[in-house]
Structure 1
Amino acid sequence: MKLVHNITITVFVKPEEDKEEIKKRLIELIPFDLAEQKIKIEEQTAQGFNERKIKIYTVHLKKTTHTKQFLKNFLNLLNEEQKKLLIAQKESRLDEECNFFIRIEKEALAEKQKIQLTEGGNCYHIRLSVAAFPKTRENALKIVDNLFS
């Protein structure tokens, strides 16, 4: 059963942060070789507060094999408490387009190589496009329950 249509992972890098380290951790979240699978890390530059240049790295996983591999790996990185938290917060994490959002703290991943969920903005943003059919919030919430339980 297909759980998600696609997955997008995005991270913003401030000028004072180590962009190579953050990019390395982004790559490590994905359990297969991006270059081998012909998936590019998109790089953009945006202007932040006080004219600061912010780097934005984005990876789009569109193929079912890629999304399944990512989810399997990601679920193994989460502990039971984190999975329960995602289920408990499912209503607020799911938007009207059936996208489910997860944020992973950047610092915890960089320093401890550990997944730590966060509500803050200094994070890796993961967007799961939930494969609900028919595409209703109720069906998407059921899939989220199945995914994290």
Structure 2
Amino acid sequence: MIHHINFRVIAHATEDLSGVDSALDFFLAPCLSPKEDLCDLKETIETEGHFGNPIHVKTAVLKKKGACSKFVQFFKENISEEDLETLREQMPERLDDELNFYMRFSKQAAAAGKLKFTESSDAVFVRVKIETYPKSWEKAGPIVEELFGRK
């Protein structure tokens, strides 16, 4: 079903890093077992923008089947009906030929403890790698619908 889930969020120079961390933690914390530490999942890359401004790219990957299942449960419990309907309408366009399913969630809403779908680039980017054998977009579509298309 799910092979792994990648999370990425960008912190610009004008942003408070702790708020960006909170946004990422909002997605990760519900997926971990009591023995796991958030810090072990996260990685930060420091880079520069076009004008030399500092940028922090924070990433995390959920690889364990249980953690991926917990993310799906977290998603279903927290997504609004309106956002779910928007996502349903866009599902075919959000699944690529490599069976990656893409979603974006508001960074500000996540930092405030809310799940809010967004089209903005100022987001927590989520990439869900769908697993089918043999690899097939036609088989992946129904899996995405089952996992993320209904509560």
Return the TM-score normalized by structure 1: 0.89
Q: Distance in 2 between matches of 1:101 and 1:26?
A: 16
CA distance in 2, matches of 1:97, 1:73: 25
The answer as to whether partners of 2:99 and 2:140 remain within 8 angstroms in 1 is yes
Percent of aligned pairs with the same residue?
28
Matches of 1:5 and 1:12, distance apart in 2: 24
SS of 2:86's partner is: helix
Aligned partners of 1:34 and 1:40 also within 8 Å: no
CA distance in 2, matches of 1:125, 1:113: 16
In structure 2, the residue matched to 1:125 is 125
Return the match for 1:11 from 9, 12, 16.
9
The answer for the alignment partner of 1:67 in structure 2 is: 68
- Could you tell me which residue of structure 2 aligns to residue 142 of structure 1? 142
TM-score scaled by length of structure 2? 0.88
Structure 1 stretches of 5 or more lacking a match? Answer: none
Contact 2:8 2:59 in 1 (8 A): yes
- Where do residues 34-113 of structure 1 align in structure 2 (5 Å cutoff)? 36-37=35-36, 39-110=40-111, 112-113=112-113
- Residue 36 of structure 1 aligns with an amino acid whose one-letter code is K
Q: 1:57 to 1:134 in 2, by over 3 A?
A: same
Does the CA-based 8 Å contact 1:42-1:58 persist in structure 2?
Answer: yes
Q: Could you list the per-position Cα deviations for residues 99-146 of structure 1 after superposition, in whole angstroms to 9, with x for gaps in the alignment?
A: 000000112223x42222111110000000012232111111111111
Alpha-carbon offset, residue 81 of structure 1:
2.3
CA RMSD, 1 decimal: 1.8
For structure 2, the residue ranges without an aligned partner over 5 or more in a row are none
Q: Distance in 2 between matches of 1:85 and 1:139?
A: 22
| Whole-angstrom CA distance in 1 between matches of 2:51 and 2:114 | 32
Query: Offset at 1:33?
Result: 4.6
Aligned residues: 146
Moved over 4 A (4+): 32-35
- Whole-angstrom distance in 2 between the partners of 1:113 and 1:37: 21
